[in-house]
């Protein structure tokens, strides 16, 4: 990190580039403090975080429900798979403008874009996790006269959870991308909007501030999922 900052500082000083192309680290830090003290950075970060969390929760809930249904029914898998795969063949940046046009430039369209980009990795991991449960354990639960709900709660969920949470880690970082794509297409708040506004004014230091804030946001979400994983899977450590 220190080496990267030093290289950046040297490049900004001696490469002969103007500040609107490559601002110095000190200029970016000063611009970050200015945006923080006037409240604009916190406002745009809060908007983006709200969009990300709504999209992450909605996309995860839909993916887990549909993934479980696909994992338990081969017929449903054959019917749904072509549509699921086709949905991933369309880049989110291609349909984001349509979603903003249809649902408006508000928070709903951004949360929907986040949910769509989160959906597929969580769906795939849910299917893999549920199908990874050994059949012998299912037979054991049935021999003990366990009901469908008990099998789900006591066997399938704990067994699939490690793989599901792996997909959630990916989804947590991708959700930030979804929010920014939506805000770049059309928004009046959020870090993506801040990037657009700063770019239009050639305020490159502010662009750097927004990008670094997005990185910190993605790292924080990834860390939160990692902490959740550690808490929910603490029983695994007890078995080792």
Q: Is residue 85 part of a domain?
A: yes
Number of domains in the chain: 1
Q: Is residue 84 part of a domain?
A: yes
Q: Is residue 219 part of a domain?
A: yes
Q: Is residue 103 part of a domain?
A: yes
Q: Is residue 66 part of a domain?
A: yes
Q: Is residue 86 part of a domain?
A: yes
Enter the DSSP assignment of 38.
T
Q: What is the pTM of this model?
A: 0.86
Q: Is residue 132 part of a domain?
A: yes
Locus of tokens 């220190």: 2
Locus of tokens 């704990």: 158
Domain range for 211 = 42-239
Per-residue pLDDT tens, the chain, 240 aa: give them.
Answer: 777 777 777 777 776 677 777 787 888 888 889 888 988 899 999 999 999 999 999 999 999 999 888 888 888 878 887 787 777 777 888 888 888 888 888 889 899 999 989 988 898 888 888 888 777 777 677 777 777 777 777 777 787 888 888 888 888 888 898 889 888 888 788 888 899 888 888 888 889 999 999 999 999 999 998 888 888 777 665 554
What angle do helix axes 157-185 and 204-232 make, rounded to 10 degrees? 170
Domain with 138 in it: what CATH number? 1.10.3720.10
Contact 21, 204 (CB under 8 A): yes
């Amino acid at each position: 990190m220190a080496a990267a900052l030093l290289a950046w500082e040297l490049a900004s000083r001696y490469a002969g580039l103007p500040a609107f192309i490559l601002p110095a680290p000190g200029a970016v830090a000063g611009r970050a403090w200015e945006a923080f003290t006037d409240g604009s950075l916190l406002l745009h970060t809060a908007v983006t975080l709200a969009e990300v969390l709504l999209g992450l929760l909605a996309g995860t809930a839909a993916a887990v429900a549909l993934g479980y249904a696909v994992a338990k029914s081969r017929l449903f898998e054959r019917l749904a798979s072509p549509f699921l795969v086709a949905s991933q063949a369309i880049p989110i940046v291609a349909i984001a403008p349509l979603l903003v046009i249809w649902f408006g430039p508000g928070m709903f369209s951004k949360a929907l874009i986040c949910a769509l980009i989160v959906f597929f990795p969580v769906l795939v991991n849910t299917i893999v996790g549920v199908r990874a449960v050994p059949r012998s354990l299912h037979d054991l639960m049935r021999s003990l006269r366990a009901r469908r709900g008990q099998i789900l709660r006591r066997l399938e969920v704990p067994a699939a959870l490690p793989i599901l949470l792996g997909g959630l880690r990916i989804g947590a970082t991708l959700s930030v991308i979804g929010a920014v794509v939506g805000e770049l297409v059309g928004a009046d708040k959020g870090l993506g909007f801040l990037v657009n506004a700063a770019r239009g004014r050639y305020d490159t230091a502010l662009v750097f501030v927004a990008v670094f804030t997005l990185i910190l946001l993605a790292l924080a979400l990834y860390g939160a999922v990692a902490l959740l994983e550690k808490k929910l899977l603490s029983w695994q450590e007890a078995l080792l």
